[in-house]
Structure 1
Amino acid sequence: MASDVQGPDRRAAGLVEDVSALIEQARDAVAVQGNAALTMRNWHIGRRIDVEGLREQRVGYAEEIVATLSRQLTARYGQSFDKSNLHRMIKFSQVFPDVEIVGTLSRQLT
């Protein structure tokens, strides 16, 4: 009888390990996809701000845009969109101007 009790417990332990591995694989895949999506989002935001700032070639116009966006986006979405982060997004889009390269790299690095 004792061996009958251990049998199901042993099978359950193996099943728990198998299911746990599936959960971890899915969690890792979600993290990779999420990181790639956030990287692309940040690149597009930086590019959009940069293009808008360049369109109006007034001195200080880009800084006005960043300050205004920062206030509104921070109120709506939190500190991830403060002025320093928006400036990082702009710099990111300037350093890596080719969106296809950014997309490829973001998938490979995560």
Structure 2
Amino acid sequence: MGEKIKLTVYGAEVLCPSCVNLPSSKEQYGWLQAAITRKYGENDVTYKYIDIFNPPEEQPYKGFAERVIEEDMFYPVVLIEDEIVGEGNPRLKTVYRALEDRGLQPQ
């Protein structure tokens, strides 16, 4: 595969008000990374976690973090490239489908 696929997770230390019984954003980020690595290997996807309440100054991260807060999105919000593929409680099937749509193949 050529260029790596970028997966970005936007979340917070505090649980989303509607996500009380779910794992934290950081826990879900780690879980997604482990699941994707098991299925596809570790060479074709880059991972980035953004704290929505303390985002980096650079764009598009800062702008999207503000959008998550302003639009009351359920977090974590999972993006593959620039497409939202999960919100609140991301589904592995949906994430896998988005990765495969971009040419990633299971090992």
Q: Which has the higher helix share?
A: 1
Q: Which has the higher strand share?
A: 2
User: Is TM > 0.5 for Structure 1 vs Structure 2?
Assistant: no
Larger Rg: 1
TM-score interval w.r.t. the shorter chain?
0.3 to 0.5
Q: TM-score, normalised by structure 2?
A: 0.34
